[in-house]
Amino acid sequence: MDAGTAAFDVHRPALLRVAYRMLGSMADAEDMVQEAFLRWAQADHAAVRVPAAFLRRVVTRLCLDHLKSARVRRETYEGPWLPEPVVEEEADEDVTLPLMLALERLSPLERAAFLLHDVFGESFEEIATSIGRNAATCRQLANRARTNVRMERTRYAVDRVQAMEIASAFFQASRGDGIANLGALLAEGVRFHSDGGGKRPAVARVLEGPSEVVRAHAALARLRLGPSQIVRYGFVNGLPGFVTREPDGILQTTALLVEHGLIRAIYVMRNPDKLRHLEQTMH
């Protein structure tokens, strides 16, 4: 490994984190980071004073360009859209799944300004060089974004033990014989999101309310051709949840937004295209 590659690899995890938060797709994030590496290989390293800032700027610009085409694809997406799941042992409360969905409503520049300042701690002067706007404009972009996503910032920290207990109880209650206990776990106004991407059966709209959610899970339990197997419990995009192997052999992730001990939202990823990266780590 040459010195340039070694220097880049030091920053690769942080760059991947920026790109994923920008795009909501691990596959696309990896592509952006690889493109950044190619540009780094062609750069005059001696002229780069702060490699981390230089590389973050490159990745941000690549993501902004990518978002223009991604938005067009998103408009034709079949059913509810969810970001690709990232499963971790501990919660990343900076950018949870509800916040990532809220970021989808922002313009690419608003998203970049908000993430770079509020999540990654960059100054508006640094952000200005990344997105090609002056510092005052970057401040306005971040303020506008902050107003729009305020309701989806993490408000209630959930104890890890309690979180995994709720996730386990939900798994048991949402499968077969336990369905009668499901309603007791759900908050009023609970919302159910299911992303199949047109590749696997999924609920075609966001459901709201305990009765709709219970009915949907009862129907799914009847349609299931065999048992779901737990692969692991953990945090899915910052929320307590689990990974299962479904009867068709494909992975599925479930993330639960928990407030005051009740489930306020359920996010189920069934699209196999968005689960490929997990297959490599779940065997």
Residues 120 and 13 in one domain: yes
Residues 9 and 61 in one domain: yes
The CATH number for 174's domain is 3.10.450.50
Task: Say how far residue 137 (Cα) sits from the centre of its chain.
Answer: 27
- Please, which residues have CB within 8 angstroms of residue 252's CB and are 6 or more apart in sequence? 228, 243, 244, 245, 246, 268, 269, 270, 275
Residue 140 CB burial class (10 angstroms; 0-12, 13-18, ≥19): middle
Q: What percent of the chain is modeled with pLDDT above 70?
A: 94
Structure tokens at 228: 């779901």
Residues 8 and 146 in one domain: yes
Amino acid at 189: G
Does residue 154 have a pLDDT over 80?
A: no
- Please, which residues have CB within 8 angstroms of residue 275's CB and are 6 or more apart in sequence? 84, 85, 250, 251, 252, 253, 269
State the residue range of the domain holding 225: 160-279
Residues 92 and 211 in one domain: no
Residues 27 and 135 in one domain: yes
Residues 194 and 238 in one domain: yes
Does residue 66 have a pLDDT over 80?
A: yes
The total number of structural domains in the chain stands at 2
Structure tokens at 144: 């506008």
- Mean pLDDT computed over 181-187: 93
- DSSP 8-state secondary structure symbol assigned to residue 230: E
Does residue 244 have a pLDDT over 80?
A: yes
**pTM score:** 0.88
Residues 11 and 51 in one domain: yes
The CATH number for 82's domain is 1.20.140.160
Residues 147 and 176 in one domain: no
